[in-house]
């Protein structure tokens, strides 16, 4: 991202950010109020500005379908939990503007990836890094306590149904 006069050209940022952070970031930039309903995004303006030590999001949970917690990351490592999914497959690219063939796949046991060295998530290091896996599992448990997880049948008291956010104009 580059914002003239705000972001230094050529800046590299390896901190966590997601599209759910757009609304709170834009709200902070425009000095607009956030919705009264709780949202999951955080403002990443400090990252855009390149503020020293900025780290608005220390972890991220990968929820899919209605409420399946499939993975968590701290930005350096990603712990993936057992689940079924559909993928294009690593070796079947699309051709002539058409997508590749979809295939069903399944993660059968927890897998751990070092995203700095293995951004393609090809080499499971779960057995080599049990302390990292345990730390990320604690992070996952905190998300489950708050938001729940259908895959482990945990009900979370803060689970919210998706919906439209009404922003009041001044």
Three-state helix/strand/coil letters over 46-72? HHHCCCCCCCCCCCEEEEECCCEEEEE
Over residues 37-89, the pLDDT tens digits come to 888 889 999 999 988 888 898 898 888 888 889 999 998 999 999 998 888 76
Q: What is the mean pLDDT of residues 118-138?
A: 95
The secondary element (H helix, E strand) that includes residue 77 is strand 77-80
User: What does the pLDDT read at residue 86?
Assistant: 82
Determine phi and psi for 20, rounding to 5 degrees: -70, -10
> Collapsing DSSP states into helix, strand and coil, what is residue 86?
strand
Q: Taking the model in full, what pTM does it have?
A: 0.77
Question: In percent, how much of the chain has pLDDT > 90?
Answer: 41
With contact defined as beta carbons under 8 Å apart, do 42 and 21 qualify?
yes
Confidence of residue 117 (pLDDT cuts 50, 70, 90): very high
Mean pLDDT across 150-165: 76
What pLDDT, on a 0 to 100 scale, did the predictor assign at position 128?
95
Span 129-146, pLDDT tens digits:
999 999 999 999 999 998
Q: Of all helices (H) and strands (E), which one includes residue 132?
A: helix 130-147
The candidate with the shortest Cα–Cα distance to 28, out of 43, 38, 46, 49, is 43
Give pLDDT, residue 102: 83
Say what the pLDDT of residue 169 is: 67
């Amino acid at each position: 991202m580059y914002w003239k006069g705000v972001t230094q050209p050529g800046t590299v940022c390896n901190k966590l950010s997601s599209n759910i952070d757009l609304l709170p970031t834009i709200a902070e930039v425009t000095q607009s109020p956030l919705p009264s309903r709780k949202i999951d995004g955080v403002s990443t303006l400090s990252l855009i500005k390149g503020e020293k030590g900025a780290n608005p999001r220390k972890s991220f949970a990968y929820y899919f379908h209605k409420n399946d917690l499939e993975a968590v990351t701290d930005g350096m490592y990603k712990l993936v939990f057992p689940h079924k999914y559909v993928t294009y497959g690593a070796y079947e690219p699309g051709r002539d503007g058409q997508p590749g063939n979809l295939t069903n796949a399944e993660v059968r046991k927890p897998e751990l990836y070092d995203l700095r060295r293995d951004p393609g998530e090809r080499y499971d290091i779960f057995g080599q890094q049990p302390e990292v896996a345990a730390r990320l599992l604690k992070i996952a448990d905190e998300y489950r306590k708050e938001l729940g997880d259908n895959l482990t049948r945990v009900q979370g008291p803060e689970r919210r149904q998706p919906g439209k956010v009404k922003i009041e104009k001044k």
